[in-house]
Structure 1
Amino acid sequence: METVDWVTTPAAIWRRHRSGLRAIRRLDPVHWDSLQGIDRQKQALAANTERFLAAEPSNNVLLWGARGTGKSSLIKALLNRYHPRGLRMIEVDKDDLVNLPEIVDDLCELSFRFVIFCDDLSFDVGESGYKALKSVLEGSLELPPDNVRVFATSNRRHLMPEFMSDNLRSEMRGGELHPAEAIEEQLSLADRFGLQLSFYPFSQDIYLHAIDALFPEYPDRERLHREAIRFATSRGVRNGRTAQQFFRHFAG
């Protein structure tokens, strides 16, 4: 099993077949300032991360919302911005969350501050991996370590599937709404993320602002915007991912 040198390694990934961590050799170089249209989310995430690095009270974070709107890119940019100040990151796939307590056990005595990154997190009916995640988020008999936080991205606000039948089982008692047990279970996991940041598809103005940031020296803005709008229309969505795809399509 590989031993990660956290002094020189900013991030690692859990590999199931190795039952251990592998240092990430090629980090995505996405830059904090290159992310457009999500200033509110950037400000909130940066403030929470700086408190975490300063050993002050901070929250686990859930970034949820529409696909391609910059959730994962923001986490990558966060690492690039803060790893010189001691931030380290470990990516854990949803299917490997059962190993999360063991991963965290090996981190609690280290001097670095660790973010466990779970990308595209959601659970289907019958999956039990969320139980291990719950224990790391809020602890059980043993408190979670002070130097570990969980940052997750998801297209689902509550991380678990929501069915109309669950709402039909809710009851009114004494004028108060009492959610069904299934709804309580859905909410109980998401509620453990003290900071929840929402992401939505871009308006056309924000989309074109992102395009301008990717093409700072392109001389014909009118043509650039016309082609960018045509490209987004063909894709059926305006977001940061579409802007990046247009850049790779149109650059040069």
Structure 2
Amino acid sequence: MENIDWVTTPAAIWRRHRAGLRAIRRLDPVQWENLKGIDRQKQALARNTERFLAGEPSNNVLLWGARGTGKSSLIKALLNRYQGEGLRMIEVDKDDLVNLPEIVDDLCDLRFRFVIFCDDLSFDVGESGYKALKSVLEGSLELPPENVRVFATSNRRHLMPEFMSDNLRGERHDGELHPAEAIEEQLSLADRFGLQLSFYAFSQDVYLQAIDALFPDFPDRETLHREAIQFATSRGVRNGRTAQQFFRHFSV
């Protein structure tokens, strides 16, 4: 297991075959101010993170919604923005969540503030990895450490698949709807994220704002926008990921 020097290392990743953490050598350089069209989400996430860094009450965070709309990029930019203030980040894959309690045990006595980052998190029927996540989110007999929070991204609002049959199993007693156990299980996990931020597909105006941020010095805006719109049309989607792909395609 690699010995992480958190003074000089802003982020690490859990590697199953090593049974330990490995320092991330090349951080994504995405910058906070370059993320366009998600100002509401940025403001809420920044406020929650600043409270966490200050030792004030703060929430675990779930960023959910349409693919390619900036959820993961916002978490990466968050680290770049706040690492100088003591923020550290550990990325843990969904399949490794069973190790989460042991990871957290090694962090609770350190002076830094840690975000456990779970990217593209979701669970299928029958998976049990979410149980370890639940204990870290709210604790069990032992409270979770004050210097650790979980920030997760997902395309699913409740992190689990939702089926029409689940709703049909619900019951009504004395005029009140009682959800089926499957729905209760879905909500019980998502509810542990006190801050939930939704992300939606970009309008054309927001998409072009993202394009302009990637090409600040491009002289011909009309040509740039026309090419960017054609590129998005060919992809069938307008979002931040499409803007990045257009940048790699079109930039000289």
| Alignment partners' CA distance in 2, 1:2 and 1:246 | 38
Q: Which residue of 1 aligns with 2:133?
A: 133
| Alignment partners' CA distance in 2, 1:245 and 1:12 | 26
Q: Which residue of 2 aligns with 1:227?
A: 227
Q: Moved runs in structure 1, 4+ residues, more than 4 A?
A: none
Query: Secondary structure in 2 aligned to 1:28?
Result: coil
| Alignment partners' CA distance in 2, 1:2 and 1:181 | 42
Q: Which residue of 1 aligns with 2:153?
A: 153
| Alignment partners' CA distance in 2, 1:216 and 1:135 | 45
Q: Does 1:183 align with 2:183?
A: yes
Alpha-carbon displacement from aligned partner over 1:44-91 (angstroms, at most 9, x marks no partner):
000000000000000000000000000000000000000000000000
Q: Could you tell me which amino acid in structure 2 is paired with residue 187 of structure 1?
A: L
| Alignment partners' CA distance in 2, 1:238 and 1:58 | 33
Deviation at 1:222, TM superposition (A): 1.1
Query: Secondary structure in 2 aligned to 1:81?
Result: helix
Q: Does 1:55 align with 2:55?
A: yes
Query: Secondary structure in 2 aligned to 1:5?
Result: coil
Which structure 2 residue ranges, 5 or more long, are not aligned? none
Query: Secondary structure in 1 aligned to 2:88?
Result: strand
Deviation at 1:218, TM superposition (A): 1.2
Q: Does 1:237 align with 2:237?
A: yes
Alpha-carbon displacement from aligned partner over 1:99-122 (angstroms, at most 9, x marks no partner):
000000000000000000000000
Q: Which residue of 1 aligns with 2:251?
A: 251
| Alignment partners' CA distance in 1, 2:30 and 2:217 | 19
Query: Secondary structure in 2 aligned to 1:78?
Result: helix
Q: Which residue of 2 aligns with 1:73?
A: 73
Percent identical pairs in the alignment equals: 89
Q: Does 1:93 align with 2:93?
A: yes
| RMSD between superposed Cα atoms in Å | 0.5
| Alignment partners' CA distance in 1, 2:232 and 2:41 | 23
Q: Which residue of 2 aligns with 1:170?
A: 170
Deviation at 1:181, TM superposition (A): 0.5
TM-score by structure 2 length? 0.99
| Alignment partners' CA distance in 2, 1:96 and 1:43 | 30
User: What is the aligned residue count?
Assistant: 252
Query: Secondary structure in 1 aligned to 2:27?
Result: coil
Q: Does 1:31 align with 2:28?
A: no
Q: Which residue of 2 aligns with 1:210?
A: 210
Alpha-carbon displacement from aligned partner over 1:223-242 (angstroms, at most 9, x marks no partner):
11111000000000000000
TM-score by structure 1 length? 0.99
| Alignment partners' CA distance in 1, 2:213 and 2:92 | 32
| Alignment partners' CA distance in 2, 1:73 and 1:218 | 23
